Amino acid sequence: MGRVAGKIAIVTGAASGMGEATARLLAREGAAVVVGDLQAEKGRLVAEAIAAAGGRSLYVAHDVTSEKGWQATIATTLDTFGGLHILVNNAGVGAPFGSVEQLGLDDWRKVMSVNMEGVFLGTKYGIEAMRKTGQGGSIVNFSSTMGIVGSPSTAAYVASKGGVKLFTKSAALHCAKERYGIRVNSVCPGWIRTPMSSGALDKLSGSGEGNKAIELTPLGRVGEPDDVAYGVLYLASDEASFVTGTELVIDGGYTAQ
Ligand SMILES: NC(=O)c1ccc[n+]([C@@H]2O[C@H](COP(=O)([O-])OP(=O)(O)OC[C@H]3O[C@@H](n4cnc5c(N)ncnc54)[C@H](O)[C@@H]3O)[C@@H](O)[C@H]2O)c1
């Protein structure tokens, strides 16, 4: 038996990076997985690879900033698989980067619309679908170490990720108070090598003086998408049945310093 056998999951931003790793891992551990993303070709390939490995999966073209998009994705999930138990709000953007002085209001809103509004909409409609399913559930939202500590050059990003971390606690307390059996937690990854971070990581190692991301990470390496996917799997599974409203920091010790 897999660790999430028989459960039905949606993973947003699942065409790439940590979302892809999470979708593949949840499927390997027995969940049916809806792969949501803007990137159709890559998203389809992930869903096909899961199916080729014997899992159940479906790609859905899904923009997390769209309320109608969320309603459609949830409806497709309920129609296709018959319920919802796990929602991973992973989709996120880093850019536009900039300090508080450099960013314009449009830049700020671009980051917020995906990283915060997308998570708000997903959590709202995810709770509704889990209540309809009637078997409780687990929602995992992607924050970041940049939701714990600041950085001068990513004003909107750190604000969005700090917001996700506290919004998660509010949603968790609401679900607990209402006795829905729905848990809501966040993960805070540190430096993880994915398409989103590879440019920044290459810049950090470009000077020939060693990679600063590695130097700043006590465990002495950059993380891999699976390092985070295993944390999500734990929070998504019934092994974490007494865990809600918390953040799981997966950063090689970066924020312990
Ligand atoms: N890579 C890191 O070092 C790092 C560290 C901490 C947190 N994070 C967070 O982890 C999450 C995953 O990041 P990643 O590094 O795997 O990035 P990634 O760029 O590899 O993957 C992100 C995916 O989200 C999708 N996406 C973007 N906007 C979307 C939208 N509006 N609707 C639906 N899908 C959308 C993209 O198409 C992409 O497939 C993000 O929330 C990111 O902020 C990343």
What domains lie within the chain, and their CATH numbers? 8-195+225-250 (3.40.50.720)
Per-residue model confidence (pLDDT) at position 210? 54
Pairing of strands 247-250, 182-189: parallel
User: What residue's CA is closest to ligand 1, atom 8?
Assistant: 144
Cβ-based burial of 79 (10 A; exposed 0-12, middle 13-18, buried ≥19) = exposed
Per-residue model confidence (pLDDT) at position 202? 82
Is residue 140 lining ligand 1, measured as CB closer than 6 Å?
Answer: no
- Give the distance (Å) from ligand 1 centre to CA of residue 179: 31
Cα(172)–Cα(183) distance, integer angstroms: 6
Cα(200)–Cα(196) distance, integer angstroms: 8
Residue 249's H or E segment, with its range, is strand 247-250
Residue 119's CB is within 10 A of a number of other CB atoms, namely 29
Is residue 66 lining ligand 1, measured as CB closer than 6 Å?
Answer: no
- Give the distance (Å) from ligand 1 centre to CA of residue 177: 31
Furthest C-alpha separation in the chain: 55
Is residue 187 lining ligand 1, measured as CB closer than 6 Å?
Answer: no
User: Which residue among 157, 180, 234, 254 is the active-site one?
Assistant: 157
Cα(78)–Cα(190) distance, integer angstroms: 34
Instruction: Determine the angle formed by the axes of helices 67-81 and 118-133, rounding to 10 degrees.
Output: 30
Question: Residue 17 half-sphere exposure, CB side, CA atoms within 13 Å?
Answer: 20
Cα(186)–Cα(188) distance, integer angstroms: 7
Is residue 16 lining ligand 1, measured as CB closer than 6 Å?
Answer: yes
Residue 256's CB is within 10 A of a number of other CB atoms, namely 8
Range 114-120, long-range pairs (CB < 8 A, 24+ positions): 114/64, 114/65, 115/157, 115/160, 115/161, 115/163, 115/164, 116/160, 116/163, 116/164, 116/167, 117/65, 118/12, 118/64, 118/65, 118/89, 118/91, 118/92, 119/64, 119/89, 119/164, 119/167, 120/167
Per-residue model confidence (pLDDT) at position 199? 84
Cα(48)–Cα(217) distance, integer angstroms: 35
Per-residue pLDDT 10s for the chain (257 aa) are 799 999 999 999 999 999 999 999 999 999 999 999 999 999 999 999 999 999 999 999 999 999 999 999 999 999 999 999 999 999 999 999 999 999 999 999 999 999 999 999 999 999 999 999 999 999 999 999 999 999 999 999 999 999 999 999 999 999 999 999 999 999 999 999 999 998 888 887 765 445 788 899 999 999 999 999 999 999 999 999 999 999 999 999 999 99
Q: Best substitution site from 11, 12, 18 to test ligand 1's pocket, by max atoms within 8 Å of Cβ?
A: 18
Our answer to whether residue 230 is catalytic in this structure is no
Q: What is the CA radius of gyration of the chain?
A: 17
Per-residue model confidence (pLDDT) at position 73? 98
User: What residue's CA is closest to ligand 1, atom 25?
Assistant: 13
Please state the φ and ψ torsions of residue 31, each to the nearest 5 degrees.
-85, 150
